[in-house]
Amino acid sequence: MNKRFRCVIAGWLLLMLCACTGGTDEPHIRYYRLASGQSENYLANQACQRFCDMVRRETDGAIQILPSFDNELGTDASALEQCVYGGIDFVRTPISSAAAYAPQLAALQLPYEYTSDKHLFRVLDGAVGQQVMASLEDKGLTGLSYFYAGYRCFFTTGKAITSLDDMKDLRLGTEDSSQMKQVIPMWGAEAVTLPPDEIALALRTDRIDGAESTLPTYVDSGYYQLAPYWTYDRHSYNADVLVASSETWEMFSQEEQTIIERCAAEAASWQRDHWQSAEVRAMLHASRSGCYWRRPRGTPCRYGLRERMRSRPRSSVRRCSRFTNTFPMRRRRSCRPYRHWPTAISENPSLCMTSLFANVRKTAFSIEENEQGG
């Protein structure tokens, strides 16, 4: 009896010893948090989820990054502040918000700075973009990659903007960190600085007459229901930045840092390749809801689709690129797919942009293929 009892005690002690010394080959799982605004369906957040999944897969489950969307962990400014002090490990935020810690980032978002998406990507992926991202290190942040956030345009409640005269006395909402708060008054309008989560309320209460946004955000945030006039001016190309807390980053080994950087780059590449399709879906959704699309007079009648379109004959692209506001869409054969759209759209074409989008609404755009073709 005593011998059996001693065997049981010895077995328990052996199990406790193995548990204390970690006598298994299973990796120690470490959990980290990633903060991002907007809904989980937003394309940049899908890329963030993809980033988290790739890191978990590449590290065999040793590193688990848990994403939180819809500002669950705070606004962009709050999340960045927490990230600086190690309260949040990763943050996906607009460049305009990160510029509060690295003013050099603001230089990447000057109005009418880029001629195309390809131009923007060359800057972000080149020496300039990497040098600017490195400026975050002195502030307790480590830049990982740039996410494409599209071009920003104005949307208004009462009328469309077709010239600078239409902007006179308009109250347009913009972020406090954006350079547009200085540019908008030059165009005759009043700049009203607002955080992104207050724009919808300001539109409902007539505090502002419009604001600026990208197409997917315009739909994802429901602005199209409050301000149905979209002015296609592309005054600013946007980019988000995925950063890590330097305090968290130093805890990773060199091999883990390499894996995380590679996963961030792959997620950013995937997001760029799918952004064009997201813009098409957003435009179709808003248009079917009765939104109006306008382009200011005197701007180039092109959207860069000649470089982006896949398997489209040059003759068709050339015909569409000559569209102007003077020709109703129903008079062009290439615009027949728009017959099922609201009357407001069919009678007020948004120039070549809408006619091209109508013909290629089922086409997936690939920036990578366009760059190879260019």
**Average predicted confidence (pLDDT) for the chain:** 75
The whole-number pLDDT of residue 47 equals 95
CA distance 50 to 41: 12
**Each residue's pLDDT tens digit, 342-356:** 232 223 333 223 332
- pLDDT at 315 > cutoff 90: no
Region of 150 (left: φ > 0; alpha: ψ -120 to 50; beta: rest) is left
Read off the amino acid at residue 269. S
Query: Which stretch of 101-105, 132-136, 360-364 has the lowest confidence by average pLDDT?
Result: 360-364
Does pTM surpass 0.75?
no
* DSSP state letter for 326: T
> Cα angle at 193 between 191 and 199, to 5 degrees?
105
Averaged pLDDT, 103-107? 84
Lookup: tokens for 33? 């948090």
The whole-number pLDDT of residue 281 equals 87
The whole-number pLDDT of residue 329 equals 30
The whole-number pLDDT of residue 13 equals 52
Query: Which stretch of 278-282, 293-297, 307-311, 338-342 has the lowest confidence by average pLDDT?
Result: 338-342
The whole-number pLDDT of residue 6 equals 54
Q: Which residue from 88, 85, 86, 84 is spatially nearest to 36, judged by alpha carbons? A: 88
- pLDDT at 300 > cutoff 50: no
Domains detected in the chain? 30-145+239-277 (3.40.190.170), 300-374 (no CATH)
CA distance 81 to 334: 51
Say what percent of the chain tops pLDDT 70. 71
The whole-number pLDDT of residue 4 equals 54
- Chain centroid to CA 156: 21
Residue by residue, DSSP assigns 224-265 as GGT--EEEEEEEEEEEEEEEEEHHHHTTS-HHHHHHHHHHHH
- Residue that the structure tokens 């013909």 belong to: 359
What ranges make up the beta strands (E) of the chain? 30-36, 63-68, 90-94, 141-156, 171-174, 190-193, 210-213, 229-245, 292-294
- pLDDT at 84 > cutoff 70: yes
Q: Are 77 and 99 in contact, with CB atoms under 8 Å apart?
A: no
- pLDDT at 219 > cutoff 50: yes
**Each residue's pLDDT tens digit, 147-175:** 998 888 999 998 888 888 888 889 999 88
The whole-number pLDDT of residue 23 equals 43
The whole-number pLDDT of residue 62 equals 94
The whole-number pLDDT of residue 16 equals 56
Which is higher by pLDDT, 192 or 23?
Answer: 192
| Position 117 confidence tier, pLDDT thresholds 50, 70, 90 | confident
**Each residue's pLDDT tens digit, 319-336:** 323 222 322 233 333 333
The whole-number pLDDT of residue 93 equals 92
Q: Which residue from 290, 315, 291, 302 is spatially nearest to 355, judged by alpha carbons? A: 302
Lookup: tokens for 248? 């968290």
Burial level of 236, CB count in 10 A (0-12/13-18/19+)?
buried
The whole-number pLDDT of residue 3 equals 52
Lookup: tokens for 345? 């759209």
- With residues binned 3-state (H G I as helix, E B as strand, rest as coil), the percentages for the chain, rounded to 5, are 50, 20, 30
Burial level of 138, CB count in 10 A (0-12/13-18/19+)?
exposed
Q: Are 277 and 305 in contact, with CB atoms under 8 Å apart?
A: no
Averaged pLDDT, 33-47? 90
Q: Are 189 and 161 in contact, with CB atoms under 8 Å apart?
A: no
3-state DSSP call for residue 74? coil
CA distance 140 to 371: 34
Which is higher by pLDDT, 27 or 61?
Answer: 61
Read off the amino acid at residue 193. T
The whole-number pLDDT of residue 27 equals 61
The whole-number pLDDT of residue 108 equals 85
The whole-number pLDDT of residue 333 equals 32
